[in-house]
Structure 1
């Protein structure tokens, strides 16, 4: 599984955190594979350059084929991802509040769902999809995607103090008090919570929990030799029981079971996420 991370074009850094390319070819013995994908703190655009993945909920045996370009809103629930033979994709992860500033759509309207991105970007996205299907490399595809986003950058909603404060909260992996984050936003706590639902799709405490949980899950994918006690400490949990509670809430099971589920798949979809 080849994953490459790129810093975005300077024009995009105000609202895009990073861009990644993924190329994975399953072993000959595997026609398809199902991989767990718990929630991350990112809202994203994912461009599939061959056959899109299929997605299913934890307690649903059915899988739904995703759009060739999928817009991912604020994530809360774990999904299972089915990859068919090969995965070639380009992913754009937005800064906290970045997708709201780009589209002007309150994030709570996109909560815990994936959408066909052409519904938001129109004909220019359809034209880009056609070009991506014929692009010679994922790197070339990345440049085409950046070109589309650069063309939209002039329409961004203005940056407010809350946008810088949320970036700091993200940088501290959720380990910053809500009172301090609200103060940096130049807002009362109630105003801050309301603005967070607009930008993050959820209240800031829940977002901070998902940040911490996602970091713990990423650490396990990236460093499977670490014990869960070590991971809890590295991710900033007060104790292991608090981490187990978050795994049950966000991954739908405890850490031991998710570890067993990962043994059944060669793919590690989150180990290279950049926090």
Structure 2
């Protein structure tokens, strides 16, 4: 379960810190597929081109994440429930980089995963579909 890191295009380097891809094939009972993630100030655009991924904060129920999700600063632990074929593509932004893209104050993104397609439009859906079609 080692992630692969990719070079950021020079035009995006002022905004994007890194791009990471992780693919995990899990077996066994689904209740063992919950992964806790501590709070983080990292702002990211996540794609989930494999099985559906669900998240929960504290004791709230799990909710399905959009296939393309924008994640702002996280001040609370988040649990992710992973599918058997978990694929994850993360575009991690430098501080202020996500604001340059969205022009949304980051305090409005705190502890709330948002649909990237709703914020960025249909191009993100096409990228997500292309990622689903790749290995």
Normalised by the length of structure 2, the TM-score is 0.92
What pairs up with 1:131-142 in 2 under 5 angstroms? 131-135=130-134, 137=135
Q: Deviations over 1:72-117 (max 9, x none)?
A: 0111111111112121111000000000011111111111110010
- Corresponding residue SS for 2:111: coil
Confirm or deny: 8 A CA contact 2:20 2:89 kept in the other structure. yes
What residue in structure 2 maps to residue 48 of structure 1?
A: 48
Confirm or deny: 8 A CA contact 2:68 2:125 kept in the other structure. no
Aligned length: 134
What is the root-mean-square deviation in Å for CA atoms of aligned residues? 1.3
Highest relative contact order (Cα 8 Å, sep 6+), 1 or 2? 2
Confirm or deny: 8 A CA contact 1:7 1:17 kept in the other structure. no
Report the alpha carbon displacement of residue 14 of structure 1 after superposing the two structures with TM.
0.4
- Which whole-Å CA distance do the structure 2 matches of 1:56 and 1:110 have between them? 16
- Which whole-Å CA distance do the structure 1 matches of 2:126 and 2:57 have between them? 31
What residue in structure 2 maps to residue 212 of structure 1?
A: none
Report the alpha carbon displacement of residue 39 of structure 1 after superposing the two structures with TM.
1.3
Give 5+ residue unaligned stretches, structure 2: none
What residue in structure 2 maps to residue 25 of structure 1?
A: 25
Give the strand-richer structure, 1 or 2: 2
Report the alpha carbon displacement of residue 7 of structure 1 after superposing the two structures with TM.
2.9
What residue in structure 2 maps to residue 80 of structure 1?
A: 79
Runs of 4+ in 1 over 6 A off after TM superposition: none
Give the helix-richer structure, 1 or 2: 1
Instruction: Find out whether 1:64 has 2:67 as its counterpart.
Output: no
Instruction: Find out whether 1:5 has 2:10 as its counterpart.
Output: no
Report the alpha carbon displacement of residue 53 of structure 1 after superposing the two structures with TM.
0.8
- Which whole-Å CA distance do the structure 2 matches of 1:107 and 1:59 have between them? 24
The structure that has the greater radius of gyration is 1
